[in-house]
Each structure stands twice: as C-alpha cells, then as structure tokens.
Chains A and B, each alone.
Chain A
Amino acid sequence: MTYKFDFSALEPYWETFLRGCWQTICLAVVAVVLRLIIGIAAMLAKRSAVKAVRVGATSYIEIVRNTPFLVQVMFIFFGLPTIGISLSPWTAAILALSLNCGAFAAEIIRGGVEAISRGQIEAGTALGLKPFQIFRFIVLKPALRIIFPALSGQFILALLTTSIVSSISAEELASISQSIDAATFRSFEVYVVATLLYFGLSLIFSTAFKAINRIYFSYPVR
C-alpha cells in the first residue's frame, strides 16, 4: 500500500464539517416535524368517507413509497421550475424530505390509531374517567407507545436520507464534504470523516430515542 493518509489537510475545515452536521440536523428536524402534519393529514384522508379523497391519499402514499428519493428531489427542484414553480435548494430539499417522510409516517400512525379498540375507551368511561383523561391515558399514550419506536427509527432514516439533497446542492454535511473534497483532493479522508460524523449523529439520536422510550413509554414493572 503506497497511499499516505493525510487527515491533517482537513484540520482547517473542522468548523465547516460541524456546520454541515448542524445543517443536516436542522433539515432532518424540520422535515420530521412537517412529516407528522403531512402524515396525520394523509392518514385521515385515507380513512375519509369521500372516495376521491381516499384515492388521492392512497396514490400520494404509494407513489412516494415506490419511487427513489433522488428522483423525487430532482423532479421538485429541476422539474417544477418549468411549470413556473421555482424553489431554492433548501426549500426544495425540505419539501421533498417532508413529502417523502410524510408518506411513510402516514402508514406508521395508522397502525397506532387502529390498535386502540373502542372497547378500551368504553372501559375508561365505565371507570369514570373524564374525557381528557380517557384521551390522555387510553388513546394517546398507548398509541404513542406503539408508534414511537417506528417514528424514531424513521427519524434516523430521514437523517441519513438528507445526504441525497447534496445532489441539488442544498448545503448540508454531504455537499459540504464534496466541496472540501474539491478543495483538498483528499477524497478518501474527507468521506471517512463525513461517514463517521453521520454514524455519530445516528448513534446519538438512536441512544436518545431509546432512553425516551424507556422512560416515558415502557410499561411500569410492578
């Protein structure tokens, strides 16, 4: 092996790398909040009594789930301007990410809602719980308990998916790595650092989610 590793060439860029991490986190968090709204809306639309609304929601979910994110981003960023809708790279990235995650979230949330049976709500009424208590302890918490692991797993996926928006030059960790690569020519080192940063981010978040799940959503052992 004749290759000499030179990570010192990257030293001046450590702040740039950190900025990339921050932008990646921001993208993922914004997309994940928006996807909850889209996901709940799509889930409700799918259960609507109006057939056209149901068909619309189902086709949205199926189209997004069965085409690659890269093509969705390209379609939004390069395709939409030709019909007069121009978006900045960041807006396009956030739009594409939340639409993408929303379709997956819709299915997850549907699973949680369908798991709460009417009988449980009736049992709560029989026990004399107030409507708010019923909502909080019988509907919301068990539903969250069911969907939280899947939703948090999806956040990690969203975090990793953000790397794809580098293809429309929205600034985040992957695109920043590409420009550092172009400036230093230390391709391998740059991508080793970037990969480890992504790995670190996903480890931090998955550990945090596991802790939250254990503290708030596990059944009390007694």
Chain B
Amino acid sequence: MIRLFGPNEVLFILAGVQWTVVLSLIAFVGGGLVGLLVALGRTSALAPLRAIAAGYIDFFQGTPLLMQLFLVFYGMPVLGVRVSPWTAVTIGMTLHASAFLGEIWRGGIQAVPRGQTEAASALGLRYASRMRDIVLPQALRLSIAPTVGFLVQLIKGTSLASIVGFVELSRSAQIVASTTYKPLIAYGLAGLFYFVICFPLSRFSLRLEQRFTAKT
C-alpha cells in the first residue's frame, strides 16, 4: 500500500531524531569515560600500557565503523550474551568514540608543556592529583575544538546503526521512503535534520579553534 507523504511522515522521521540524539549522547559520554582511560594509557610512563592503547586506537581508526558494529552485534552472542540491536549499537559506538576521543585527548595532554608536570612533581603531587589538577584541565581546554568536531562525526556515524536494524533518523527515513515511494523527499528531509543538528556544532567547533589560534 502506497501512503501519501503527509505531516505524519514528517513527524515519523522527526521521531527518529530523538534516537539519533540519544545514541550520540550515550556514545559521547561513554566514549569520553573510556577515552579518558585510553588517553591516559597512551601517555603513560609504562611502555606496555602505551603499546596497548596505541594498538586499540589504531584498530578503531583503521577499520570501518560498520565492521565494528557488525563485530559487536555478531560477537556478543559468541561470548554467550544475547543482545538487542540497541545494546550492540550503543556498545559499538561507545568503543568507537573512545578510541577517537582518546587520540584527540592524547594530543591535548602532550601539548601541555612538560614543565607543568615537572613542577607538579617537584611540589610533591602524586600522579592522580598531577593529572586531575594540573595536566587534564589544560589538556581538555586545548582539545575542546577537535572534541566538538568529533561529536559531529559521531552524530553522522550513528546513521550506520540503521544498517544493524536500529531505528533512528536514517532508518525512519528509509521506512518512510519505502512506504510512500518518495525517497527524494524522505532522504532529503533526513539530510536536513542532520544538517540542522550538525551545522551549528561545526560552526561552534570552528569558532573555538579560531579563538585558540588567535590567542597563542
């Protein structure tokens, strides 16, 4: 049955937006937590820890996100855990984000002058306090622009969740496209919604970047 493209269809696609936003936020926050560990591992004084973190980052940056999602989706049952597409996609996106954020923040941590760490050690601060109070606040400030830039990439990346069967913005556009036979409008609308979310973030990231380069 062919349905007409009416306000209902627009609302249906719009309902997909909230899942895209929810998925992006979970992946961003979860990926941020794991990513912090990755960044600390990557800049650790212990060589094996550094190597593991580097391998982790290389793997996620060297393989397609789609394959990563498939691996989690088909790999979890292998480990004996039955998962819904929702869980699989959340875990996959979180791991993906953690590797990229870890690499971005590693850059930030290494951009903080060594003298800061040395001064903190000379004052008798331990690793935890040195990182928490001295290095990380400066590092996060330095890397805020690329972090926002990556958020845009992550939001666009959540569209791949539709291939695993998770209904978000892209998937709802697909559903509308196949029930109304109006793919041009359906995908155009989906693109517009992504644009409305991503464009302000891109601009924001660019402004942050310009502010930092102007200052230094």
Contact = CB atoms under 8 A, between A and B. Distances in A.
Interface of A: 1-3, 62-63, 65-72, 74-75, 78-80, 82-83, 156, 160-164, 166-167, 174, 187-188, 191-192, 194-195, 198-199, 202-203, 206
A49 B191 CA distance: 30
A187 to B, nearest CB: 4
20 contacts: A1-B80, A2-B80, A62-B202, A66-B202, A68-B157, A70-B162, A71-B187, A74-B174, A74-B183, A82-B183, A161-B64, A162-B64, A188-B74, A188-B75, A191-B71, A191-B74, A191-B75, A195-B67, A199-B59, A203-B62
Interface in B88-107: none
A163 B173 contact: no
B71 A195 contact: yes
A72 B67 contact: no
Contacts of A71: 159, 170, 173, 187, 190-191, 194
Contacts of B117: none
Interface residues of B, number: 43
B8 interface: no
A188 B198 CA distance: 33
Interface string B174-200: 100100011110111011001100110
B146 to A, nearest CB: 14
The interface centre, meaning the residue of B64, B75, B162, B194 with most chain A CB atoms within 10 A of its CB, is B64
Contacts of A206: 62
Contacts of B194: 66-68, 71
A95 to B, nearest CB: 15
B66 A78 contact: no
Contacts of B183: 74-75, 78-79, 82
Contact of B62 (A65, A70, A83, A156): A156
A96 to B, nearest CB: 12
A75 B74 contact: no
Interface string B194-213: 11001100100000000000
Contact of B78 (A69, A188, A203): A188
B152 interface: yes
A164 B195 CA distance: 19
A199 B191 contact: no
Contacts of A161: 64
A93 B198 CA distance: 23
B216 interface: no
Contacts of A188: 71, 74-75, 77-78
A195 B63 contact: yes
A72 B156 CA distance: 11
A174 B195 contact: no
Given A3-B79, A74-B170, A78-B177, 12 more contacts: A70-B163, A71-B187, A71-B194, A78-B187, A163-B64, A164-B66, A174-B64, A187-B70, A188-B71, A188-B74, A194-B70, A198-B64
A70 B67 contact: no
Given A160-B63, A164-B66, A191-B70, A69 B191 contact: no
Contact of A202 (B62, B68, B70, B74): B62
A163 B156 contact: no
Interface in B156-171: 156-160, 162-163, 170
Contact of A67 (B63, B174, B184, B198): B198
Given A65-B202, A192-B71, A160 B187 contact: no
Given A80-B184, A198-B67, A68 B156 contact: yes
B75 to A, nearest CB: 6
Q: Name, among B174, B182, B187, the residue most crowded by chain A CB atoms within 10 Å (CB to CB).
A: B187
Nearest to B160: A70
Contacts of A203: 62
B187 A74 contact: yes
Contacts of B157: 68
Contacts of A2: 80
Nearest to B185: A79
